[in-house]
A = this chain, B = another copy of it.
Amino acid sequence: MGTGTFPIVGWFDITHHIRYTGTVSKIKPVSIKEISELTGVSIATVSRVINNNGRFSEATRKKVQSVIREHDYVPNAMAQWLRTNRTRNIGIIVPDITNEFFAKLTLDIQQKLFTVNYSTLIYNTNEDPVLEKQYLQAISAQNVRGIIFISGGGQNGCPDIPDVPMIFLDREPHLQDTRTNYVRIQTDHVKGAYLAGEILVKKGCKNPAILMYKNALSPQSDRVLGFKTALNEAQVSLKREALLHVNRVSYDDAYAVIKKSLERGCIFDGYFCTTDWLAVGAMDALLDHGIKIPRDAKIIGFDDVSIAAHGRIPLTTIHQDTNGMAHLAVELMLKLLNNEQVEKFEYYFEPKLIKRRSV
């Protein structure tokens, strides 16, 4: 991660011992002024040693630090923020933290950020553009230092807050041309879907279907693209009616859609579901309809979330490297925060086929 050039050097030394020592005793937080009085140097000097800004003697440093220590002084973050106009907070906007894939990303990001002394503000949009907008407003008013968008719609309107670095995880950025302090990270959905298509045809599917979320998010369309490519190469055709749509990414919706299609007499011998939960819903519908899996129909999902391994039939799926993406996300965020140039604006992660029993 390279914390080499971590900007606020003195911070840890100071907050290292805060008003929290077993059972707390804090009455009223001491301010820089009192430290200054106690040490006999001016406020300015105290400030300098706190921020390690040079221009003070070793003797003063020692004195000031010892007083600071002694009084458990901790700079008032809010005052610092006001003055410098920057917080130590990173905002994360995520559709739904209840979705394991997002939760994993969020978890990793939060933990890594804390490592370098950033806190994490979390907002769940529920794919609601209105909420997303409000969150952006809140975030903006809070002077958050950087923003990480995880997936989600964001077609409409451009979530652009100038000067605030942004990382887009699994999401298409819509930004002003002039912006350079952003980065996009995602798994190579096209490739992942290609892998899915490939294994399906390899296992003998002649008449496959796609079950997908109806919204035209880029990962969705990428996956369709990749899947179709694999079919094309194998000269397997995808029927027009083989594009099944779901209104919400949920087990129930998937179950219902597949059930209905089955009742309509639509039967396919392979299902590429753009999400594991979709796949599990589809699988159960198929199973309940008396269809044998993988004999009569094969199913493959995407994400490799924990349900995949533990459903009625272990699900073959495409794994996404959440951990890797989270790592990279904070690494790049740190760079952007540090005004370093990043090599490129788009990063792709390799998807991986996880073979289980549904294919």
Identify the A interface with B (CB < 8 A): 15, 18-24, 26-27, 74-79, 81-82, 85, 87-89, 96-98, 100, 103-104, 106-107, 110-111, 114, 117, 119-124, 126, 133-138, 140-143, 157-162, 176, 251, 280, 284, 306-307, 310-312
Contact = CB atoms under 8 A, between A and B. Distances in A.
A124 B110 contact: yes
Give the 6 A-B CB pairs with smallest separation, nearest first: A18-B137, A78-B81, A78-B82, A24-B160, A122-B122, A74-B141
Contact of A311 (B19, B107, B310): B310
B96 A114 contact: no
> How many copies, total?
2
A11 to B, nearest CB: 10
A135 B117 CA distance: 10
A103 B100 CA distance: 9
Given A18-B136, A20-B137, A98-B100, 11 more contacts: A19-B161, A24-B160, A75-B141, A78-B81, A78-B85, A78-B87, A81-B81, A106-B122, A111-B124, A307-B307, A310-B311
Contact of A26 (B135, B157, B162): B162
Please indicate which of the listed interface residues A81, A123, A126 has the most CB atoms of chain B within 10 Å of its own CB.
Answer: A81
A306 to B, nearest CB: 7
